Every structure is written in C-alpha cells, then in structure tokens.
C-alpha cells in the first residue's frame, strides 16, 4: 500500500509540474514538411512563400522602439518601422530622407521643419501623418529612464503645423540632429493603434508589453512573433508603401555558438550567419555556395594610460604615453584583426566626418623615437607596469591576444608589462572608478556622429568616470583648450565639408597629446548562402539591412 | 474481517506518515528558500558594480537626469534592506517575482519561458544517463574483468572526466558537420514551427497536437545536447551500478538463488538489480542537480534557450530580480528533486519508512 501511495505521489508531482508549465493554448505549426529547396541549400519556399533564416546572437531584450538600445535593435526597427530620415545603404550613419521629403533649418539652428510624404500608410492601413510623428516623439520624451531618451532629449518641443509638416524645436543647436533622427528612438508609431494598447505621449506609457510582440509601423515587414533568446519572425507588410522585396518571411534565430552557426549555414539550416570573426571565417573558406563578407563597423580597440600619478608615476607621464604609441607594431595588429581592419589616428573612426587613419609609412612604429621619448621622460631603463585586460573580445579578437602583443611590443622599449586578466564587469567598474593605470578597452558610438566621440574622449569629460577624460584623469587645461574650441565648432557646424575639415584639425591637435593609443577599428565578418542571395548589405547601425534583402 | 481492519489501519498509518513527512519537508523548504533569497539578494547587491552602469548606454550615463530616473524606476535609489522588503512583500502578497531590469518583462513570465526548455533537456539527459548508465553498469559487472568491462569502464571514466564543452564541440563536429545527421543547435527547425503556447515542453506539445513531424524534429534537436549533458551522470551511474551489483552478487541470498538452479539472467535482473539500484537513485538525484551546473555551457554551445543562459545574462547585467528568481527556482528544483528521490526510495525498498 505504501509503495502504491509513493508511486501515486511521484506521478502527481510530475503531472503538476507539466501543468504548471502549460498555458493550455496550441502551437502554431508553420508547415509540416521542409521543402526540397531547403535541402538543396536554397531558401525555403513553402506553398509559394519565401522564407529566409538568419542565425546570430542579438541579445535583443525588447522590440519597443522607445526602449530599444541593444546592438541589433535597429536591424529590427528598420524592418518594421520608418523614421523621417534613415541611414543610407552601406554608409556609416549618413542620413537620407525616408518619410520626410526634405527639411529646412532656421538661422538659429534650433528650428527644423520637415515636409512629409503623403503616401505612407501603416501596416494597419492607417495613413501616416504629422500627428503620428509628434505623438511618437512625445512618447519617448516622457520615458526618461530609457536609453532611447538620450537621443531625443535634444528636442524641446515638436509640433504638427498641418497633416504633412512637422516642426522640431531643439534645446540647443546640434549638427548631429539628422543622424539622431535615423535611430530607433525616432521610429514613427501608428499612434491610434498603440494608444489602444496602453500607449501614451504624456507619461505612464504601458504599451511595451504589446510592442514586444507586435509592431505598429509602416516598414516593409511586420513583427509576427518573438520568443526572446529563441527566435523572431517577421512577415511581409501587405500594405507597404515602398518597393516590396521578394521575401515573405524572415526568421532571426538566436544562435549563441559560432560553431553551431557555421554548421547550420553549411547544412542549409540558415541562410545568413552573423557571429564570425577572422579566425572562425576560415572554416568557411572555399566552401561551395557560401560567401564570406565584411562590413565596416565603428568599433575600435585602444589602450588607456591614466594620467593619475598616484597609480603609476611612470605610465602617467605624457612622454611615456607617446613612446607607447610609437612602440606599437600596428602592422602586427592589422594582421591579428584580419581583412577590413584599419588603424584610426585617434578617436574619430573611418566613416565619420573627417575620420583619419594612422599613416603607417610616416607615423607607424618607430622604436628609435620611442626610446628617445623614454629617455627624455627619464625612464630609459624602463619600468614595470600591469596591463589590465578583461576576458572580452572585439569582433572575435580576444583582448588577451592583444595584451600579449602589447607586452611583446613594449618590451622593446624596456617596459616590462605584466598582464592581469579580470572579469569584464569588474574591469568596467574599475574603469569608472579610474583605478587602473593601464588597460585595454573598446568603444562604439551610441549614434553615428562625431559629436558622440567628442562627448567621450575630450579632456575633462565624464563626471564620475562616465567618459575617458575623467577615467584617465586627463584634465581640461589652457594647453588643450584648442580641442574644446574645435569640438564646439564641430558640434554646431552644419556644412559637412567645413565640419570634416574641423574634424581633421581636431584629430591632428588631439594626436599631439592624449592618454590613449588607438590600435584597431574592426570590421564585421558575416557569411551568406550565395545560392540564395546575390548580395547582402551591411551597415553598422542596422547590421544586416533586412529591407534590402532579395532572394535570387 | 480482522485482516481488512488491519489493512485499513496500515493504510491510514502509511498515509499519515507520508503526509507528516511531506509537510515537514515543505516547512524546511520555506526556510531554505527564505535563506536563499536573503543570501542571493545580499551577495548580488554587494558586487562592486551597479545595474545602471551595466544597462545604460555611455551617453545615458553621462546624464544625471537619466541615471536618476532609471534608479528611481527600478528602486535602486533605496537602501538594500528596503529593496529586500519590497521584493519579499511583492512575492508574498502579490505573488510577483518582480520585473527584470534588463528586459522589463515580469520575471515569472521569463521563468515560465526558459524553465521548460531546461526541464525538457534535463529529463532527456537523465533518461539517457540512467538507461545507458544502468545498462553499462550491469554489463560491466556481469563481464567483470573481461574486455567489454574494460571498454565500459573506459567510457564511464571518460564521462566523468571529459569537460562538457569539449565533448559538446566534439559531438557537434562529428554528428552535425561531418555526418550531418543531427541539427547543430536550437530546439526545433525554424521553418517548421513557431512556438506559441503549449507547455513549452515541445515533446509533450508535439504529442498532444498529434504533430509527428514536429515530434521527430524536436527529438532530433534534443538528442545531442541531452547526450552531452547526461554523459557525466551516465559515468557516475555506470560506476555505481557496477560496484553495487558486484557487492550484491556476492551476497548469501544470491548464492542461495543460484544453488536452487535459477538462471543467471533471472538472478541478476530479478534478485540482484533491485537491491543494487537503491544507491543508484541517490547518485541519479545528485546527478540531476549537477546537470543544472553544466547547463550554461551546453545551452551556450547548442543555442538552447534555457534557464542557464538566462541566469548568465542576469548575472552579467546585474539584473537583481532575475538573479533572485533564478536562484529561488533552482533551489526549489533541488528540494523537489530530493523529495521525489526520497519518496522513490519507498517504492524501490519497502523497508524504508517515512519518518
């Protein structure tokens, strides 16, 4: 009897567990059989519909444009929503008109007036008008705890003067305003639809939960379903106002392992993979029907040398810091980074206004100069220093590999580097506390304009360790005031040619003295099935440009 | 009549013993979960970092207004003890585990999404471990010191000594890349199925929906991660079964059974194995709990969207509510599995009493 009771209890526990997991609804089976097309490595085509599968690790945590911030956020927001301006294909954030046809800005640089297209409709069938733009902007303006708010807080007020005219008044002149307009913060939402699901433009918005599983935009695709860390399904928007592509369904699969992505691409389970780097891409070299491609990114890796004498009297010396820049074997780092890597002169990457690369023929490694600088600084015999390195990587290039190369390079000028590897979040914390004399770090912008770089890298910036001026204890002084003067001009200059010139001048001045050594700007490596696509375009804001995808 | 009365009294006593035992264990469980919540809350809050820095962009961090709004929204501006009281009040009064700082979704919804994936994988890993482990253990004991015993022992030693990430990459390369007979990751073919409701245990869902192509696809996706995850426990069970069976086989009652002319297979399966399996159940229970430890690597390599990856992301983003939610769930799983094992003892061995 006791055995019967015990057995019964065990069965009940299992049944209760299963019942607790379930919600009683049925699943959605997309198809019962895989098509022959997939087996032959072509995109799946079931009952005349075309499905493309992308494998990668997105770390998406929300699909609400007002809350998005993650690196892959704009890949999805560009597929499902429109903005007034969008990033031009294949560029690093160059804005081009989308829903807006053109704009004017007044003499004060504060008032921007945009004319809107009159043929844009949302997926719901509602027409997109100026009131939707105003509502969408005001919604994010009232979400102060959101990352998206940082890009929109420059807006003092936004008004619709008629159905197809929107006027933005800024709090201060900002030459990067058009670039900011291309981000997910400025996605135009179907205000009527979102209001029905808790949306508000005056605070207390509760539409996030609905927007995490649906879209309310006018982009070429609509969000069909999303299971975080599992997959996201986009369906063609039947009411799309622009030129439609020939793909009906795009599935983004979360694949946390690069090996799994590579195998899945080889086997035809996915059509595009995003998680490659120079090393792992070698596994796909020469594989029939697979193309390996590179796209430029704004990610750069650099060495940070604190000016805090208490941390290291030797490494904080500006002459030693310059010696380090001359001692680095840039050609060697380019070889480590692989095809598509460049060496930025300093804090403005290629693709940004006036971005300069280091001229390695005249300004590359120069050990004689480095040794002379060490002697001038009084450290001809060298010194010992700890290089802190997080267990992290830049587009797959491990920081420990970079650290070993730095150790080897600096040994040539008698700097004895001891490598200390720590957990990433701990390094970030120490960085904000400004307690490391010498460390490796990377940086990528929050928006694609040089104003973002100046806010991060100028002397004195970043209270409480939020930017590199404060993190390195590099003070703003009359000697480096020229950097601030130039940056202030860049901030408001709207003529692109003049702005690029100012930017170049700023970088040349910055190169004369700074506490950083910029090593690499990295490319993004990805691969696709060339039986399915002729080409796959990439830009760093949207990653894969889903709107441009067309199957053969 | 007397016999019926005796049976009825025995039944009442058994029920009463069992209920008393379960109530005592449940009381202990509440104390344990409370302890876990305090410890996890304190440890995670004293990590030298802060969630605002982990979750806000650099531009946002430069803006005190945004940082203040963020900290106010998530209650990070309050003292730790006050945060803990609010957290516990929400659990006890509203049955709410809070909202994830990282994703903004309710923790309960997230656990409901990720836990079934891990549970399904763990159950299949245990099935593989127990079936293979017991079979190998019996074979090894029967053919003691024969070549097959050495082979089985080598496999079981590999099971307990091979790092799971290495073994995972090995089987993925062999079965997915070279032989192309199993999918390389995820829980199902994206072109075949889109998850929407059900239990989240896709094997059960596929059966309940009579969707046999889906069932075969889900099982194909389950096999390799379950094999990798169960390999360690299989090694333990093989060794345990072998040594127990060898010990039991030298017992007097086995000698008696043999002397009565009973067939060797009947002696092993009918008389020896039952007794040899009692300690194996303990090992299996511990093995199940160990699976949760190895889950992060296996889930990462096979892109399995389970609780291991969720816990990892919660930890690196200092998502306090998620860290606490996962910790409570794992503690609860440990306790329930152990209770389950303890009750199972009674099924296997009638001499064991619930006291």
The beta-carbon neighbor of A260 closest among B10, B302, B346 is B302
Q: Which of residues 140-199 of A touch B (CB under 8 A)?
A: 144-145, 147, 149-151, 153
Mean pLDDT to the nearest integer, B61-79: 81
Distance between CA atoms of B274 and B278, rounded to whole angstroms?
7
Note whether B197 contacts A: Cβ–Cβ < 8 A.
yes
Which pLDDT does position B7 carry in this prediction? Answer: 67
Q: Which residues of chain B does A154 touch, with a Cβ-Cβ cutoff of 8 Å? A: none
Query: Considering only CB atoms, which chain A residues are within 8 Å of B112?
Result: 21
User: Structure tokens of A83?
Assistant: 């903005």
pLDDT of residue A28: 43
SS3 label, residue A93: coil
Least confident of A231-245, A374-388, B24-38, B65-79: B65-79
Q: Check if CATH label 3.40.190.10 holds for domain B114-348.
A: no
- Determine the 3-state secondary structure of A520 from DSSP: strand
Hey, is the C-beta of B192 within 8 angstroms of any chain A C-beta?
yes
Best of A46, A145, A448 to disrupt the B interface (most B CBs within 10 Å) is: A145
Rounded Cα distance between A94 and A280, Å, is: 31
Which position has the token pair 């002459």? A319
- Tell me which chain B residue has its CA closest to the CA of residue A13: B340
Q: Do A227 and B191 touch (CB under 8 A)?
A: no
B333: contact with A, CB 8 A cutoff: no
- Interface contact B302, partner A, CB < 8 A: yes
Interatomic CA distance for residues B333 and B327, integer angstroms: 10
**What pLDDT does residue A91 have?**
87
Q: Which residue intervals of chain B bear CATH 1.10.3720.10?
A: 114-348
Burial (CB < 10 A; 0-12, 13-18, 19+), residue A524, is buried
**Which residue, among A112, A180, A176, A129, has the nearest Cα to A152 in the 3D structure?**
A180
Element (H or E) spanning A132, and its range? helix A130-141
The C-alpha angle with vertex A52 and arms to A46 and A56, in degrees rounded to 5, equals 145
B15 touches chain A (CB under 8 A): yes
| Alpha helix stretches (DSSP H) within chain B | 2-45, 51-55, 58-61, 64-73, 80-94, 107-142, 147-161, 164-171, 202-208, 212-249, 252-259, 264-266, 273-301, 307-316, 320-348
Least confident of A98-107, A422-431, B318-327, B341-350: B341-350
Chain B residues in contact with A267 by the CB 8 A cut-off are: 176, 180, 183-184
**Mutation site, B4, B7, B56, B60, interface A, largest A CB count within 10 A:** B60
Closest by CA to B308, choosing from B119, B124, B36, B30, is: B119
Indicate the range of A99-108, A412-421, B213-222, B268-277 predicted with least confidence. B268-277
Q: What's the confidence (pLDDT) of residue A251? A: 96
Kindly determine whether residue B316 and residue A424, on different chains, have CB atoms separated by under 8 Å: yes
SS3 (DSSP) at A86: strand
Q: What is the model's pLDDT at position A29?
A: 40
Please indicate whether, in this complex, the C-beta atoms of A31 and B214 are within 8 angstroms of each other. no
Q: What is the pLDDT of residue A16?
A: 47
Model confidence at B302, pLDDT cuts 50, 70, 90, reads very high
Q: Which pLDDT score is estimated for B195?
A: 66
Residues of B in contact with A229 (CB under 8 A): 114, 305, 309-310
Question: Is B344 within 8 Å of A6 when comparing Cβ atoms?
Answer: yes
Q: Note which residues in 37-76 of chain A have CB less than 8 A from chain B.
A: 38, 44, 46, 51, 53, 59, 61-62, 67, 69
CB pairs under 8 A between A and B: 241
d(CA A418, CA A387): 6
The shortest C-alpha distance from B139 to chain A (Å) reads 28
Please report the residues numbered 27 through 66 in chain B whose beta carbons come closer than 8 angstroms to any beta carbon of chain A: 47-49, 53-54, 56-66
**How close does chain B come to A111, measured CA to CA in Å?**
23
C-alpha A369 chain-centroid distance? 37
Per-residue pLDDT at A41? 41
- Say if residues B315 and B323 touch (Cβ distance below 8 Å): yes
Question: Chain A partners of B176 at a C-beta cutoff of 8 Å?
Answer: 260, 263, 267
Backbone angles phi, psi at A212, to 5 degrees: -70, -20
CA dihedral A243, A245, A248, A249 (to 10 degrees): -110
Q: How far is B148 from chain A (nearest CA, A)?
A: 34
Whether residue A237 contacts residue A219, with contact meaning beta carbons closer than 8 Å, is answered with: yes
* 3-state SS assignment for residue A146: coil
H/E element holding A518?
Answer: strand A516-529
Q: What is the pLDDT of residue B251?
A: 87
Share of chain B above pLDDT 90, in %: 26
Residue-level pLDDT at B336: 86
Q: How far is CA B175 from CA A129, B227, B283, B301, in A?
A: 55, 12, 29, 14
pLDDT tens sequence for chain A (552 residues): 445 544 454 455 444 444 444 444 444 444 333 333 344 344 554 446 799 999 998 878 899 999 998 888 999 999 999 999 999 988 888 999 999 999 999 999 999 999 999 999 999 999 999 999 999 999 999 998 888 998 999 999 999 999 999 999 999 999 999 999 999 999 999 999 999 999 999 988 999 999 999 999 999 999 999 999 899 999 999 999 998 889 999 999 999 889 999 999 999 999 999 989 888 899 999 999 999 999 999 999 999 999 999 999 999 999 999 999 999 999 999 999 988 899 999 999 999 999 999 999 998 999 999 999 999 999 999 999 999 999 888 988 899 999 999 999 999 999 999 999 998 878 888 898 899 999 999 999 989 999 999 999 999 988 777 889 999 999 999 999 999 999 999 999 989 999 999 999 999 999 999 999 999 999 999 999 999 999 999 999 999 999 999 998
CB-closest option in A23, A231, A259 to B197? A23
What pLDDT is stored for residue B275 in this prediction?
80
B59 contacts A151? CB cut-off 8 A: yes
Q: Is the pLDDT of residue B112 over 60?
A: yes
Cβ proximity of A315 and A474 under 8 Å: no
Residue B238 and residue B249: Cα distance in Å, rounded? 16
Contact B59 A224 (CB under 8 A): no
Cα–Cα distance for residue pair A135/A141, rounded to 1 Å: 10
How close B307 gets to chain A, by Cα (Å)? 11
What six digits make up the tokens of A440?
Answer: 């490796």
> CB distance A29–B192 less than 8 Å?
yes
* A32–B contact, CB cutoff 8 A: yes
Predicted TM-score (pTM) of the model is 0.84
Contact A53 B190 (CB under 8 A): yes
Question: According to the model, what pLDDT value does residue A23 have?
Answer: 45
Any chain A CB within 8 A of the CB of B102? yes
Shortest CA distance from B189: residue in chain A: A269
With beta carbons less than 8 A apart as the criterion, state whether A382 and A416 touch.
Answer: yes
Give residue B344's pLDDT.
76
User: Is the CB of A251 less than 8 angstroms away from the CB of B103?
Assistant: no
What is the tens place of the pLDDT at every residue in B171-205? 998 999 889 899 988 999 988 777 677 888 999 99
Tell me the HSE value of A363 on the side-chain side, using a 13 A CA sphere. 15
Above 70 in pLDDT, residue B115? yes
- Tokens 């700082």, located at residue: B101
The CA R_g of chain B, rounded to the nearest whole Å, is: 25
Tell me, yes or no, if B19 comes closer than 8 A to chain A by beta carbon.
no
pLDDT in the model for residue A37: 39
C-alpha pair distances (Å), A298 with each of A457, A521, A540, B7: 15, 7, 7, 79
- Residue B153 to residues B157, B246, B249, Cα–Cα distance (Å): 6, 14, 19
Helix (H) or strand (E) holding A11: helix A2-21
* Residue B46: predicted pLDDT: 77
- Residue A60: closest CA among A228, A296, A202: A228
Q: Do B70 and A455 touch (CB under 8 A)?
A: no
Alpha helices (runs of H) in A219-329, residue ranges in sequence order: 258-266, 278-281, 318-327
CA-based nearest distance B87→chain A, Å: 21
């Amino acid at each position: 009897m006791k055995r019967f009771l015990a057995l019964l209890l065990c069965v009940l526990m299992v049944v209760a567990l299963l019942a607790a997991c379930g919600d009683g609804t049925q699943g959605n089976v997309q198809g019962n059989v895989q098509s022959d097309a997939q087996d032959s490595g072509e995109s799946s085509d079931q009952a005349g519909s075309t499905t493309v599968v992308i494998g990668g690790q997105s770390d998406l945590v929300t699909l609400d444009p007002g809350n998005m911030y993650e690196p892959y956020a704009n890949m999805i927001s560009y597929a499902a929503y429109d903005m007034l301006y969008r990033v031009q294909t294949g560029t690093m954030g160059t804005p081009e008109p989308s829903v807006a046809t053109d704009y004017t800005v007044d003499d004060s640089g504060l008032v921007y007036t945009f004319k809107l297209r009159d043929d844009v409709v949302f997926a719901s069938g509602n027409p997109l008008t100026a009131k939707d733009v105003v509502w969408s902007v005001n919604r994010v303006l009232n979400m102060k705890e959101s990352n998206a708010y940082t890009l929109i807080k420059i807006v003092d007020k936004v008004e619709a003067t008629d159905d197809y005219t929107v006027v933005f008044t800024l709090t201060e002149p900002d030459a990067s305003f058009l670039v900011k307009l291309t981000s997910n913060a400025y996605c135009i939402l179907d205000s009527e639809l979102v209001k029905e699901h808790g949306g508000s433009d005056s605070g207390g918005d509760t539409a996030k939960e609905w927007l995490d599983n649906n879209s309310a935009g006018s982009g070429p695709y609509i969000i069909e379903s999303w299971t975080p860390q599992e997959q996201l399904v986009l369906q063609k928007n039947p009411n799309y106002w622009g030129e439609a592509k020939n793909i009906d369904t795009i599935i983004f699969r979360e694949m946390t392992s690069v090996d799994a992505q590579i195998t899945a691409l080889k086997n035809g389970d996915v059509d595009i993979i995003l998680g490659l780097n120079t090393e792992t891409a070698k596994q796909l070299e020469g594989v029939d029907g697979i193309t390996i491609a590179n796209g430029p990114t704004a990610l750069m890796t650099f060495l940070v040398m604190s000016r805090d004498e208490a941390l290291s009297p030797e490494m904080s010396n500006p002459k030693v810091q310059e010696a380090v820049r001359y001692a680095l074997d840039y050609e060697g780092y380019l070889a480590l980074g692989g095809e598509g890597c460049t060496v930025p002169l300093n804090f403005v990457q290629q693709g940004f206004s006036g971005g300069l690369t280091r001229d390695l023929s005249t300004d590359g490694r120069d050990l004689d100069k480095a040794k002379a600088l060490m002697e001038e600084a009084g450290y001809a015999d060298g010194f010992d220093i700890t290089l802190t390195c997080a267990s992290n990587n830049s587009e797959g290039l491990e920081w420990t590999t970079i650290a070993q190369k730095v150790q080897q390079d600096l040994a040539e000028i008698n700097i004895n580097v001891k490598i200390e590897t720590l957990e990433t979040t701990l390094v970030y914390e120490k960085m904000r506390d400004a307690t490391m004399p010498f460390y490796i770090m990377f940086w990528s912008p929050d928006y694609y304009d040089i104003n973002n770089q100046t806010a991060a890298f100028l002397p004195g910036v970043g209270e409480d360790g939020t930017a590199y001026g404060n993190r390195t204890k590099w003070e703003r002084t009359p000697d480096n005031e020229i950097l601030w003067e130039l940056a202030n001009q860049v901030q408001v200059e709207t003529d692109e040619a003049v702005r690029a010139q100012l930017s170049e001048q700023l970088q040349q001045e910055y190169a004369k003295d700074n506490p950083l050594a910029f090593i690499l700007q990295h490319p993004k490596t990805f691969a696709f099935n060339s039986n399915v696509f002729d080409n796959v375009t990439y830009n760093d804001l949207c990653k894969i440009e889903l709107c441009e995808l067309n199957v053969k | 009549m007397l016999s019926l009365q005796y049976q009825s009294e025995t039944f009442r006593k058994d029920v009463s013993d069992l209920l008393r035992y379960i109530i005592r264990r449940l009381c202990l469980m509440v104390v344990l979960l409370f302890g876990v919540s305090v410890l996890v809350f304190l440890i995670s809050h004293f990590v030298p970092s802060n969630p605002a820095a982990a979750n806000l962009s650099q531009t946002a961090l430069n803006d005190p207004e945004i940082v203040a709004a963020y900290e106010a929204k998530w209650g990070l501006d309050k003292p730790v003890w006050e945060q803990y009281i609010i957290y516990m009040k929400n659990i006890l009064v509203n049955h709410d585990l809070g909202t994830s700082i990282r994703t903004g979704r309710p923790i309960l919804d997230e656990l409901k999404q990720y836990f079934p994936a891990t549970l399904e994988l763990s159950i299949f890993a245990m099935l593989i471990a127990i079936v293979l482990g017991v079979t190998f253990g019996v074979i090894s004991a029967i053919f003691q010191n024969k070549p097959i015993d050495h082979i089985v022992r080598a496999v079981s030693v590999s099971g307990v000594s091979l790092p799971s990430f290495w073994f995972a990459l090995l089987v993925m390369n062999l079965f997915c890349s070279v032989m192309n007979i199993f999918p390389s990751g995820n829980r199902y073919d994206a072109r075949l199925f889109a998850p929407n409701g059900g239990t989240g245990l896709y094997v059960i869902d596929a059966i309940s929906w009579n969707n046999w192509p889906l069932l075969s696809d889900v099982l194909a996706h389950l096999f390799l991660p379950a094999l990798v995850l169960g390999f360690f426990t299989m090694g333990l069970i093989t060794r345990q079964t072998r040594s127990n069976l060898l010990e039991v086989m030298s017992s007097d009652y086995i000698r008696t059974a043999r002397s009565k002319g009973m067939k060797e297979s009947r002696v092993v399966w009918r008389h020896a194995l039952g007794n040899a399996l009692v300690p194996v159940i303990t090992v299996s229970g511990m093995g199940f709990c160990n699976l949760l430890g190895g889950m992060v690597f296996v889930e990462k390599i096979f892109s399995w969207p389970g609780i291991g990856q969720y816990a990892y992301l919660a930890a690196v983003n200092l998502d306090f509510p998620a860290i606490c939610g996962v910790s409570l769930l794992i503690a609860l799983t440990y306790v329930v599995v152990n209770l389950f094992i303890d009750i199972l003892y009674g099924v296997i061995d009638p001499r064991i009493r619930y006291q």
